[in-house]
Structure 1
Amino acid sequence: MSTRDKLINAIVDHYSGLEGKKLNVSSAAKKIGVTRQYIHRVFDDLVPYIKGEKPFTDLVENVAIGGQSVLLEQALTTIETLKSELASLTSAHEKELKKITENTYTTLMNSDITFHEADEVRILMEKQALHFEKLVSDKKALETELTAIKAKQLSKEVEKHISSDVTVIKPDLEPIFHNLKKTGDIDVFEEEKDVAIERALNKVNGLPDNKKIKIVIFIERYLCKLESFVSKIEKSSYEYTVILSLPVHSTVELKLYAKKIVGKGILSLWMPILDSEVIVKAQRKFHFSDIPEEEFASADKMSLPRISDGFSEVTQFLVSQGE
């Protein structure tokens, strides 16, 4: 079975079930054993079906005959289940409606009409008061969010000269992390993150070609502060050093990004490690409280790259608590 057929089968199998959840590109890629970037590059026409923007039924004819039989059985089972649930809900709804109607008539017959109208006014005023409180709360939340946005606008990408011969470049991910926490859309997060990393790479590639430049890639695993790492890099015999902080936790993606830094001199890679999960949690809680959990999980799965992946040197260093 081709990779495309596997992807189509995964899409149809997901949406023909009763999960009720939308599929995202990252999850679909994991199901068939490829990367998210590969799906976007090779099967971009199937992305709307993955996200549920187009009906998966359009793809059923592309599923193998055996797969269609399974889907038909699933569909029939789903229909029967839904019929049963609908009948149960309809019966319960009719009973509840009858009960409410009888209670309403009894209440109106045994109560004074004027008292009933006054009670309705009281309820309406309470609802309006609650609505006003909600508007005030929403206003404060928006003001807080606006303040945060303004602060982020003032905080540009970290690109500072530590000295005349050392420069640090780091993608600006704060607004991207904020958007992920707000929307929960992991696909949009990955796309925005790719764009931020590309901007940082463009800055590196904008440097003049010079074999005496040393480019140090710092793998951002959220274990130590960038400033602490910069202090570890001693002045070398190279005329110029660029420290590039990359929040990349896939060896495959890292190799692709490394290939884009061409002809710029020595390419070195440093990756922090910690031998205690307790210290890892403490470091992240103290220094990286704004980072989404998805990034932590991704960073924890990363394995150490090799020199054969395109680097002149690969260094793994132990982080001390508090760094």
Structure 2
Amino acid sequence: MADDTLVVAFLLSGAALLAVSVVVRGRLFAGGGGHHLPIDPIDVAYLKGGPGLAEYAALAALRAAGAVAPDGTPGTLPVGMPRLARVAHEGIVAGSGPWQSLRTPAGREAQDQIRTKLERQGLLTSRSQRAGARVGPIVLLGAAAGGVALAARSVEPRHTVLFVLGTALLAIVGVLTLRAPYRTVAGKVVLRDQTRRNGHLHPRNRPAWETYGPAGAALSVGLFGTAAWWASDPDYARALGMSRVYVGGSGPHPYSSCSASNAPSSSCSSADTGSGSSCNASSCNSSSCGSSSGCGSSSSSCSSSSCGSGSSCGGGGN
């Protein structure tokens, strides 16, 4: 009888912990009403793919605005460009290239401002939200450990089975919910809505950036990744050694700094996205400087000899 009571108590307490954990997690990551506010295209890119994709969106805005020429030389910066784009333009003007300037304190500060804005709008999860969300999974895993101990001490087979089943459920949910999401539910709604309303900017439609302007170019890259570059500005994408499939994330940026006499703004980029599949012969020709070491063995055609005379490439991504 005592064993029956212990089993029932364990199962009921486990069910209560699961319910509380799910409810708390749902409230933490629901997000605010920020999805009703206007959102900048570069902010959309940060929301979709983090800092790396936001930087590409900022550079797309510069290209569409004529602030950087096809050969990488700087043009006039229009008034009202987002700060991240202005920082990239400063690097182009200085001759160090956009990527180097985006690695400076000014570039990191501009990115931090975007993230803070999105967190306040309830579109990105904050550090405190992620920390709070880990409490529930840790409690569930602790309860699962207790279930293991109870199962080991149980002498009744049917009780042992119930302890094991309850423990397995607690452990599975605890592990699956231990990692906090990058975006809130409201943030995911924003991306779905932006993608639905801006289907005309999809790479398959080959949108002309001259037609849609800086905001349209940045939004195209922000929503659909670097494939938008290849569809709308393939020459410059090739010159940058840009990945065809990069859509952001926590992995290494798909570029690295290198010194190349024929690369725009004295910079070129690695096509290493973590999968190392986009550095191919088409992006490593005499007019471009791709990565010579950031690609897998399948990209053996991407070598120093394909970067043109007087140029040298750097290694993998940052």
Same fold (TM over 0.5): no
What TM-score comes out, normalization by structure 2 length? 0.23
Q: Which has the higher contact order (CA 8 A, sep 6+)?
A: 2
The structure whose residues are more often strand, as a share, is 1
What TM-score comes out, normalization by structure 1 length? 0.23
Radius of gyration: which is bigger?
Answer: 1
